[in-house]
A and B are shown apart, each in its own frame.
Chain A
């Protein structure tokens, strides 16, 4: 999920009552969701990014391309927030993309995914698509999922399968082409989410407690100290989005079928 820069609109992926995959918007203050598009080429939209001009959504779709002629999995599409058909972006060198984020000035897209031989990786690619460049590939990354890039172009990616010092479920910080563990033992939801506060001082990840209750794990980006904020109404912490220019966060609960807003 993503928010517009002022935090007034939340964009998220979901299924229609008929089971068609789509992209929706809803006022951050609450209200009725509106379908930007549904059905068509989208089968399993997994992640969203919003351009700096708030005009274009980039969506990672895990289900497509549903073709027998390619051995690659997953695709990127651009969709105008005003609606319309998705346009598939060329994405060379990336298999099974799972997360998407713009960098600080929206001059590039960061893509979490896999190399052709199945190694976890993070890439960059032009906003219009093209050949991707690997930023990090292989261990410690295993199966990176959601990705977020802060205002200093530090990338954070959550990885369900990676095992860190405190267990499975790792937050990696990626700078200078190196992924380092920022936190581990995270009971992530699926697909999982990561976001930072507007100035990048804290990283926020929706997680679950050992007993299965929802919570927000807040990690100090400077010293990696973690604190927990209870969110008992959160059943499955599936994702998180943050507005670029405000302190508004939104967390999606895929099992509870709800979106929560936090400021």
Chain B
């Protein structure tokens, strides 16, 4: 057993190692750029076979972290000046073959009030809703550039302002009206939800993993903006059919990552119409990327975090392979917790090839992609991180233990579940917390 005083001394000696951890964040607020642009901060991606039908695939991409639900009067919304994409590699080469592109448009129905709404809200297009947002969804063939409209002018769910705006617990009734059924048996939802990520954020205070009587779940009671997309599995496979059960070729898995992109130029103005106080020009530049949780967060050092967000998975090995083969986190775990995580060289002369293996199932190209087996026998119950990621998967514990690589010593943050139960039906992510409960 290591005493606290011993830990303190080791921290002093190892300050160069320990210092970066103290300022790291989870998938939320993980890079120098994104802390200044949270509307495009992609916090988590989930990928699972639908619990409602094994023939369907669910993709969830969350943005804009750590929302305090009472945060009005301009409550959180997606940015109109951004592209939000869910990208899919269906042949294992780590290059996106398909992308679902989401583009949002905000309308201010009454610019002469500070209020978010002028009365109770009974639908996402309620006349009392002053700030309304709609979106389009386009499916893009990344090889040819061909685009097909999936949905247009779909309203987002409004923000859960509080009990006076949504009397008689009516928020869920309103939000459910934002579930859109598109042609081709596609379901779409975009709007505020409870943040489904659960972690003990004390880990970012020098890896404080000590249990407490009541687990500290600092992501309790915070909201997130979710894009939830459910499509037939065959919509995203290489040839439009589902690989046979037992297939282990690279196209037996799909790899998913989400991104957000901004126009290259933003010019601030002194006096412009509402929603146009800045001009956005130029080509879209990818500024946020996420697939497997905690890769950019705790494996990529700060100097390369923005680079990670602006590059594509196909170049991950070249750009970040060294950080994966010899990750920093096990060294910090040893420094702070003294649990004896073995050195990277204990796995192989190259280092942590076991992690590379996790990132390249079924002969796929190693990359940070959230990969899921989509062969014909797969069911919702077979999704378990790192084979996809369900909402309820305890990924921090899984990844901490994987990175430490000492099977006899599982590492836990002592938080094993979300603060709100997930839904059994689409959109699956729990309804958001009311600003005024």
Let me know if A44 and B283 touch, CB within 8 A. no
Number of A-B pairs, beta carbon distance below 8 Å: 57
* Mask of B192-228 contacts with A, CB within 8 angstroms, 1/0: 0000000000000000000000000000000000000
Could you say which residues of chain B place their CB within 8 Å of the CB of A190?
264-265, 281-283
A132 CB within 8 Å of chain B: no
Q: CA A200 – CA B144 in complex, angstroms?
A: 28
Within 8 A of B (CB), among A156-192: 160, 163, 166-169, 184-185, 187-192
Could you say which residues of chain B place their CB within 8 Å of the CB of A68?
270-271
Q: CA A73 – CA B269 in complex, angstroms?
A: 8
Could you say which residues of chain B place their CB within 8 Å of the CB of A118?
276
Q: CA A210 – CA B97 in complex, angstroms?
A: 12
B436 nearest CB across to chain A (Å) = 35
Q: Known contacts being A98-B281, A190-B264, A190-B283, is A167 close to B147, with CB within 8 Å?
A: yes
B73 CB within 8 Å of chain A: no
Number of interface residues of B (CB under 8 A): 21
Let me know if B145 and A166 touch, CB within 8 A. yes
Out of A67, A73, A145, A185, name the residue touching B267 (CB < 8 Å).
A73
A62 CB within 8 Å of chain B: yes
Within 8 A of A (CB), among B352-403: none
* Mask of B275-317 contacts with A, CB within 8 angstroms, 1/0: 0100101111000000000000000000000000000000000
Let me know if A66 and B283 touch, CB within 8 A. no
Q: CA A69 – CA B267 in complex, angstroms?
A: 17
Out of A66, A70, A167, A192, name the residue touching B282 (CB < 8 Å).
A192
A138 CB within 8 Å of chain B: no
A96 CB within 8 Å of chain B: yes
Out of A62, A70, A160, name the residue touching B263 (CB < 8 Å).
A160
Out of B145, B267, B271, name the residue touching A71 (CB < 8 Å).
B271
Out of B145, B263, B272, name the residue touching A185 (CB < 8 Å).
B145
* Mask of B64-93 contacts with A, CB within 8 angstroms, 1/0: 000000000000000000000000000000
Let me know if A191 and B144 touch, CB within 8 A. no
Q: Known contacts being A62-B267, A163-B147, A190-B265, is A73 close to B279, with CB within 8 Å?
A: yes
A195 CB within 8 Å of chain B: no
Could you say which residues of chain B place their CB within 8 Å of the CB of A168?
284
Interfacial residues, chain B to chain A (CB-CB below 8 A): 140, 142, 144-147, 263-265, 267, 269-273, 276, 279, 281-284
The 17 sampled A-B contact pairs (Cβ below 8 Å) are A62-B279, A62-B281, A66-B270, A67-B270, A67-B271, A73-B269, A96-B279, A160-B263, A160-B281, A160-B282, A163-B147, A166-B144, A169-B283, A185-B145, A191-B282, A192-B283, A210-B142
Pairs of residues from A and B, 5 with the lowest C-beta to C-beta distance, nearest first: A190-B282, A167-B145, A190-B264, A185-B145, A166-B145
